[in-house]
Amino acid sequence: MDKQFRTVALIGKYQSPDISGPLLALADFLERRGITVLIEEGTALSLGADGKPASYETIGTRADLAIVLGGDGTMLNAARRLAEYRVPLVGVNQGRLGFMTDIAREDMIAGITALLDGEFSSEQRFLLDIEVLRGSRRVLHTLALNDVVVNKGDIGRMIELEVKVDGEFIYVLRADGIIVATPTGSTAYALSANGPILHPAVPGIALVPLCPHALSNRPITLCDQSQIEITLMPPHDARIHFDGQMRFDARAGDCVRVMRSHHAITLLHPPGYSYLAMLREKLHWSSSPRG
């Protein structure tokens, strides 16, 4: 089944010396199977790796598969950069929790071998399309796979946000902020803010208030076709975070418009993968009590 994956890109955790050995070993393994290997140029530069350094654009146009060695943060960055090219992604966990990087480091060669032999399942994950409007002018446009977070930034008090869904006024939220999360992002920041866990097959978007002043402001799951508008009420400015990796300083009066993107990513999972089993392991469900 190698014919399905003639060219494979390797993307490593940013400036992490720990991935040098596994990445070079994986590159050698793939080349011995007759596969052309591309190494993402930032990864190649930080590791001093030989091979064929490639930009994300080159990876997007040439690679049949991208293997991400790192944690969920590395996967999030790669997913956003490659979403428009529809390159399938598989993750080797070099981080901590690893909700999206589900091949263990010690099982890397066995897991990739199974995948190359056609033993994998695929799963689609949608992204969010976000724009920030300042009056009639769009001042930012970007994507997020996990979440969009509008928060108070450096100020030490709550902010006020007007929230509309499909043009309908929902509420003015007085809080530290609000999270708009995809099912993929429901196990990230939103989870720590008592948001719902959404199975990846659920076509929903979660709105999760951050430390709301009114305890009746509860998380809600909306249809994934909804358009969400969050307007910063004067006089407060705010900060907007995208997947916890990019940020934008917004001004009072700015409107953050969020909707489902037409871009999606494909994750490939090794044999035996189960989302619920992954949650059970990562969140320590059914573990024996201590003490």
Residues classed as catalytic: 72
Q: Are 96 and 74 in contact (CB under 8 A)?
A: no
Q: Are 263 and 127 in contact (CB under 8 A)?
A: yes
Q: Are 69 and 19 in contact (CB under 8 A)?
A: yes
Q: Residues with Cβ < 8 Å from 198, sequence gap 6 or more? A: 181, 182, 183, 186, 204, 206, 221
Give the bridge partners for 89, in sequence order: 66, 267
Residue 241's CB is within 10 A of a number of other CB atoms, namely: 20
Which burial class, exposed, middle or buried, applies to 291 when counting CB atoms under 10 A from its CB (0-12, 13-18, 19+)? exposed
Q: Residues with Cβ < 8 Å from 283, sequence gap 6 or more? A: none
Q: Which helix (H) or strand (E) holds 169?
A: strand 168-175
What is the crossing angle of helices 108-116 and 20-32, to 10°?
Answer: 30
